[in-house]
Structure 1
């Protein structure tokens, strides 16, 4: 998916909603639209969005040098979709809530149904329709599908074949330097001075954030209970994840927990060193031991309990294996050394 690059910045040729966040450096074609609440993170220029493509509301796109993102022309990434280190061909349509894991390659004109989980490394030929968790090809694109694609793209499937332009987060000032903190019923968040909160994250109520934490853009953390929502040291919570502690519950993330983008976390306990992959849901009353891995898109049911070192996957989630050592941090996980590149400056 080779594209010509124009080294000069130009913010006039694409649309960036005021509540969207661009972090690091991207390469974008003319007519790209990044919608409200969307987060696009490109470490060292590792995200490319082709001309006429759209990143819809609260979608998350993460690219790194080891796992770059390449999106073709006239592609639509649906609301709350997640794209990590994947390649998406021209004219593809990715449905709302779909998850594309690292190494995924979609050919041109592929259609991904809402809520589909495309597993790491899956290669899909052009003109395929995918659905399921995990994804499978259910049929080929037909003339009706092509007509719907055409009508949603101004009546033509012709590709503009336009060069990409570099855009850096430093081209647009931050709205706030370090997160937004709100009181709830006279309870106010306590955040360690060494924690990093991106400007569009919001922390509300009785919440304690430990040292060295990274709270990503678009993250919402709400503590409404009689006791604090506790986040230990070195915890990393990625873009557009929601943590919500309802009255009477408990929500604790022990030291070193990593929560991927687009997750939903209720009143639960997650043990130290556990990795929660993108798009997972943990319901109230669940408990996950130390050093576990929760698979992308999994649903940990209310009241479920898993031991230390469990590999947890599925919808609903079950234990699918055991780990002999603590899981390594995924390549998509933010590191302290990434922050200088990603932090937006005025």
Structure 2
């Protein structure tokens, strides 16, 4: 069973058709939108500020989403993919962007719609990835513009994970 915990007087608000894996943790002032999927081992900790996650977003296995006290909430739009073992902290991820596996997004960063941060990249505080850009490296820097296949893949990946999350939610409902 997922660990869904209040923090103080703040309780997570999770859409009824979202999938939250049995060993995921969701704490405090956190909202999770319709058809979003929170995968195995994910920690979403809205304790000292708020976290908002739109619809059809997937946060993959082992990722951590947190906030910065009194300064940066975390806002994650709709149709966003956050790859396995990523760290997303006090930032804004706009609709239909992509954060690669083991990437780190630090305080005050913005990834615009259809922006992509490559696997393993470190986006240092306050950086902004514009729409259609690919950033990579540690620290991350602009590499190039995304092509049409890569842009389409962002949308297709989010749709795939929304369907997969629904399958898992249905399977778990019948297994209990």
Give the shorter-chain TM-score range. 0.7 to 0.9
Gaps of 5+ in 2: 1-10, 161-176
Q: Aligned pair in 2 of structure 1 residues 78, 119: CA closer, same or farther (>3 Å)?
A: same
Q: Aligned pair in 2 of structure 1 residues 120, 45: CA closer, same or farther (>3 Å)?
A: closer
1:134-154 CA distance string (max 9 Å, x none): 001100121121222233244
Q: Which SS does the other structure have where 1:97 is aligned?
A: coil
Separation in 1, partners of 2:103, 2:31: 23
Separation in 2, partners of 1:50, 1:10: 10
Q: Aligned pair in 2 of structure 1 residues 63, 147: CA closer, same or farther (>3 Å)?
A: same
Question: Cα distance, 1:29 vs. partner?
Answer: 1.3
Correspondence for 1:118 among 115, 123, 147 = 123
- Say how many residue pairs are matched: 149
Q: Aligned pair in 2 of structure 1 residues 8, 93: CA closer, same or farther (>3 Å)?
A: closer
Question: Cα distance, 1:9 vs. partner?
Answer: 4.6
Correspondence for 2:105 among 83, 94, 100 = 100
Output the TM-score relative to the length of structure 2: 0.78
Separation in 1, partners of 2:71, 2:137: 27
Contact map agreement 2:41 2:63 (CA 8 A) in 1: yes
Question: Cα distance, 1:8 vs. partner?
Answer: 10
Contact map agreement 1:27 1:45 (CA 8 A) in 2: no
Alignment of 1:73-84 (within 5 A): 73-84=78-89
Separation in 1, partners of 2:14, 2:75: 20
- For 1:134, the equivalent position in structure 2 comes to 139
Compare relative contact order (CA 8 Å, sep 6+) and give the higher one, 1 or 2: 2
Alignment of 1:1-346 (within 5 A): 9=13, 11-43=15-47, 46-64=50-68, 65-154=70-159
Separation in 1, partners of 2:85, 2:23: 14
Larger Rg: 1
Contact map agreement 2:106 2:126 (CA 8 A) in 1: yes
- For 1:216, the equivalent position in structure 2 comes to none
Separation in 2, partners of 1:145, 1:46: 31
Structure with the higher helix share, 1 or 2: 2
User: Aligned-residue CA RMSD in angstroms?
Assistant: 2.0
Contact map agreement 2:109 2:128 (CA 8 A) in 1: yes
Separation in 2, partners of 1:68, 1:134: 22
Gaps of 5+ in 1: 1-6, 156-346
